Amino acid sequence: MKTLLAATLLFVGMNLWAEPVSTLSPDGQIAVGFDVLDGRPTYNVTYKGRQVIAPSRLGIDLDLGPDLIDGFEIVKTSTVSFDQTWQPVWGENKNIRNHYNELLVEMRQPSTNRLMNLRFRVYDDGMGFRYEFPEQGPGFVYFVIKQEKSEFAMTGDHTAWWIAGDYDTQEYNYTESRLSQIRSLLPGSIDGNVSQTPFSPTGVQTSLQLKTDDGVYINLHEAALVDYSAMHLNLNDSTMVFESWLTPDAQGNAVHMQAPAVTPWRTAIITDDACRTLASNLILNLNEPCAYGDTSWIKPVKYIGVWWEMITGKSQWSYTADVPSIKLETIDYTKVKPHGQHGATTENVRRYIDFAAKHGFDQVLVEGWNIGWEDWIGKSKDKVFDFVTPYPDFDLDGLNEYARSKGVRLMMHHETSGSIRNYERHMEKAYAFMEKYGYNAVKSGYVGNMIPRGEHHYGQWMNDHYLHAVKEAAKHRIMVNAHEATRPTGLCRTYPNLIGNESARGTEYEANAGLNVNHTTILPFTRLQGGPMDFTPGIFEMDMSKLNPGNTAVVRSTIPRQLALYVTMYSPLQMAADLPEHYEQHMDAFQFIKDVAVDWDESRYLEAEPGRYIVVARKAKGSDDWFVGCTSGEQGHKSTLSLDFLEPGRKYKATIYADAPDADYRTNPKAYTISTKKVTSKTRLRMAAAPGGGYAIAITPLDI
Ligand code: NOJ
Ligand code: CA
């Protein structure tokens, strides 16, 4: 990570007496005010003169009192300005500007003599704050946070796009409603095969997208979730005040701290333009710079995989049905009878490798290659996988060699089935094994309840594990894509080998419980604010019974929308999730998936409204090619697109993949048209996306 411009750190001022203080964003449009009222730290936020966060209290409830909630006085306040442009290893843009004004409030609690600071950073598109506990001698070193009491007071009954509060999964459809409706809608919002129970009748997860009636978009989330537990929000629906609610540990506490220490940043992205919300880099900017010296081994990846066939029930992860009464660790797999539906067979994997090589994919994910899948889910079993022993019908050496000979790599899969003790015990051996065979990316998974029992997916203990796995992987030059892990908070800036996460309902739900049609118009506002998602788009066969006669699910999308998702769902890791034989039926549309870039110099959000539509144009990294994607909700979407992002005076060819006039995700999802057109920066394109549809455009210069 190089610094383009020298960082400018400008000391602006210092205040030594207690009175309200405020700090403006660089453009002066956002103001954060702070005061200690009746001994309680209190902040508020205005945007263009309107209040967006009304006076809201801050404090920390400790397991052993006295709490860090009241009785504070300001010792000192100071402000600095910061302006730096940095280059991510991969990203939506080549350059990212980190420009803010900072307010540091140093406080003391005279009754205990404890020190607690609040640091605010105010950007043109929002603000963040965190608590800091400076080193303060032996009187205050180790402490346990029972609950964090950070308020976010909304100024009205805003519209919200939310998912239910939950300590263990984010794999929900979003509900769009007024804040006042959350209490009545929350029970019904937990659908499909998600079995968790929300902790509160008004508890929701972040990142939470809100919109006021006068058109202000507010996004509440957190940045740099390190050594702390993930934050949820409980709404007081009489006052419209959200309060933080941290994921508890097995003993009912939230966080174990040792001063000096800081909390994650609590963030509010605030704009009056949905495109600006999507373009915000606030959460990345609130994370630390890259922790690695050499990042040359971190590369964006386009992949296919032996995966959708298991998700749809066409084949199985497991090798045999012949087990439950036997202890897996004692099975001799060469002696049991295979059930004949194993997906990860040598022959089948070779077929995928051939397809990947023929069409230019980097990697082939293979799930179900290793022993243990007979016993992996729902049993709270500790020792299921060893991450190194293949099933007898998976020729580990031969397949890696075959892939290498064709210029393709296999992608590793580590399902931990929630047993962290088991995974950490095998981790070093498993990563070294990957290095030996030439794997440089792992998809890891955390399905099921945690072992140690009582810990939650989003607690401090697990958050420490996920980061540990990423850092250990880096020592082996391995990239990590963790499913079921905590939702991202921009840590990929610091640890860019974290190239993907799931942490939301992805395409796999199309093969069972279903995705709401507007899902992909919401995720970029919410889940993607913290980092990329392994959404696994690219489904061309919408009727699951064609893969598995017993599966009645139908994918709720047109084919052009499946193409557009490679552009609208930003990720440096993109899967073409469908089966090779389905792509072979639509090679003309498949061309877009082959061509689309996975890393970008520049991104321009052109049109957006949560729950309705998103249109974005991106310029491929180190190239003059542009790709445009649109995803629409139930109503479809019509655009008149100005191509003014193209270089003036240059001629380009646009290949347009669009919904046919009679396309509709319900009745005619495969009806698409492909046309080409000469375009310039002056061209305006009239485009129409069907209900549940979209469009994708590849634009390439004609003069090279
Ligand atoms: C859930 C993951 O999201 C899915 O992609 C994976 O195939 C299964 N777990 C098995 O690990
Ligand atoms: Ca999952």
Reported confidence tier of residue 704, pLDDT bands at 50, 70, 90? confident
Structure letter (DSSP) for residue 374: G
Q: Yes or no: say if 84 and 98 are a contact pair by the CB < 8 Å rule.
A: yes
Q: Model confidence over 530-550: pLDDT tens digits?
A: 999 999 999 999 999 999 999
Cα(445) to ligand 2 centroid in Å equals 8
Cα(620) to ligand 1 centroid in Å equals 30
- Position in ligand 1 atom list of the atom nearest CA 506: 3
* Cβ(534) – ligand 1 distance below 6 Å: no
**What are the helix and strand counts (H, E) for the chain?**
12, 37
Cα(445) to ligand 1 centroid in Å equals 6
C-alpha closest to that of 685 among 619, 582, 607, 621: 607
pLDDT at 372 over 70: yes
Q: Whose CA is nearest to atom 6 of ligand 1?
A: 445
pLDDT at 313 over 90: yes
pLDDT at 329 over 80: no
Write down the mean pLDDT value for the chain: 95
Q: Yes or no: say if 172 and 214 are a contact pair by the CB < 8 Å rule.
A: no
pLDDT of residue 335: 86
| Residues forming a β-bridge with 366 | 306
> Averaged over 300-310, what is the pLDDT?
98
Return the ligand number nearest the Cα of 169.
2
* Cβ(502) – ligand 1 distance below 6 Å: yes
pLDDT of residue 61: 98
Q: Count the alpha carbons within 13 Å of 150 in the hemisphere toward its beta carbon.
A: 23
pLDDT at 14 over 80: no
The neighbourhood of ligand 2, an ion, using CB within 5 A, equals 483
Q: Yes or no: say if 159 and 176 are a contact pair by the CB < 8 Å rule.
A: yes
Q: How many CB atoms lie within 10 A of CB 212?
A: 18
* Cβ(291) – ligand 1 distance below 6 Å: no
pLDDT of residue 507: 98
* Cβ(483) – ligand 1 distance below 6 Å: yes
pLDDT of residue 295: 98
- Position in ligand 1 atom list of the atom nearest CA 483: 3
Q: How many CB atoms lie within 10 A of CB 621?
A: 18
* Cβ(151) – ligand 1 distance below 6 Å: no
Q: How far is CA 173 from CA 165, 236, 592, in A?
A: 12, 23, 28
C-alpha closest to that of 57 among 149, 164, 188, 187: 149
- How far apart are the C-alpha atoms of 483 and 173, rounded to whole Å? 17
- Position in ligand 1 atom list of the atom nearest CA 307: 7
* Cβ(445) – ligand 1 distance below 6 Å: yes
pLDDT at 1 over 60: no
Reported confidence tier of residue 365, pLDDT bands at 50, 70, 90? very high
pLDDT at 5 over 70: no
* Cβ(447) – ligand 1 distance below 6 Å: yes
pLDDT at 567 over 70: yes
Q: How far is CA 305 from CA 168, 338, 408, 413, 514, in A?
A: 26, 22, 12, 11, 21
- Order of strands across the sheet with 142-148? 60-62, 142-148, 255-258
Q: Model confidence over 585-609: pLDDT tens digits?
A: 999 999 999 999 999 999 999 999 9
Q: Which of 423, 443, 447 to mutate to test the pocket of ligand 1 (most atoms within 8 A of CB)?
A: 447
Q: How many CB atoms lie within 10 A of CB 337?
A: 9
Token couple for 607: 């049109």
pLDDT of residue 331: 79
- Position in ligand 1 atom list of the atom nearest CA 317: 10
pLDDT of residue 327: 61
Q: Whose CA is nearest to atom 10 of ligand 1?
A: 415
Reported confidence tier of residue 10, pLDDT bands at 50, 70, 90? very low
Cα(480) to ligand 1 centroid in Å equals 14
Q: Which residues contact 187 (CB under 8 A, 6 or more apart)?
A: none
* Cβ(508) – ligand 1 distance below 6 Å: yes
Q: How many CB atoms lie within 10 A of CB 538?
A: 24
* Cβ(309) – ligand 1 distance below 6 Å: no
Q: Which residues contact 108 (CB under 8 A, 6 or more apart)?
A: 72, 73, 75, 114, 115
Q: Which residues contact 167 (CB under 8 A, 6 or more apart)?
A: 196, 199, 247, 248, 456, 457, 458, 459
Q: Which of 307, 309, 367 to mutate to test the pocket of ligand 1 (most atoms within 8 A of CB)?
A: 367
Cα(411) to ligand 2 centroid in Å equals 17
> Averaged over 490-495, what is the pLDDT?
99
pLDDT at 403 over 70: yes
Does residue 508 carry a catalytic annotation? yes
Q: Yes or no: say if 434 and 462 are a contact pair by the CB < 8 Å rule.
A: no
Q: Model confidence over 154-178: pLDDT tens digits?
A: 999 999 999 999 999 999 999 999 9
Cα(410) to ligand 2 centroid in Å equals 21
C-alpha closest to that of 267 among 224, 205, 212: 224
Return the ligand number nearest the Cα of 534.
1
Three-state DSSP at 619 gives: strand
pLDDT at 262 over 50: yes
C-alpha closest to that of 390 among 364, 412, 408: 412
Percent over 70 (pLDDT), the chain:
96
pLDDT of residue 238: 98
Reported confidence tier of residue 18, pLDDT bands at 50, 70, 90? low
Q: Which of 168, 315, 483 to mutate to test the pocket of ligand 1 (most atoms within 8 A of CB)?
A: 483
DSSP for 472-530?
A: HHHHTT-EEEEESSPPP-SGGGT-TTEEEE--S--GGGGGTT---TTHHHHTTTTGGGG
* Helix residue spans in 280-395 (DSSP H): 282-285, 308-311, 346-359
SS (H, E, C) 627-657: EEEEEECCCCEEEEEECCCCCCCCCEEEEEE
Q: Which residues contact 328 (CB under 8 A, 6 or more apart)?
A: 371, 372, 374, 375, 384
- The one catalytic residue in 151, 171, 508, 541 is 508
Cα(36) to ligand 1 centroid in Å equals 48
**What's the pTM value of the predicted model, to 2 decimals?**
0.96
pLDDT at 276 over 70: yes
Q: Which of 14-18, 58-62, 443-447 has the lowest mean pLDDT?
A: 14-18
Token couple for 487: 């939702």
Cα(107) to ligand 2 centroid in Å equals 43
Return the ligand number nearest the Cα of 445.
1
Reported confidence tier of residue 359, pLDDT bands at 50, 70, 90? very high
145 burial level (CB within 10 Å; 0-12, 13-18, 19+): buried
The residue with greater pLDDT, 404 or 322, is 404
Q: How far is CA 372 from CA 318, 326, 422, 457, in A?
A: 8, 12, 13, 22
* Cβ(240) – ligand 1 distance below 6 Å: no
Q: Yes or no: say if 420 and 465 are a contact pair by the CB < 8 Å rule.
A: yes
- How far apart are the C-alpha atoms of 503 and 505, rounded to whole Å? 7
C-alpha closest to that of 89 among 633, 497, 394: 497
pLDDT at 556 over 90: yes
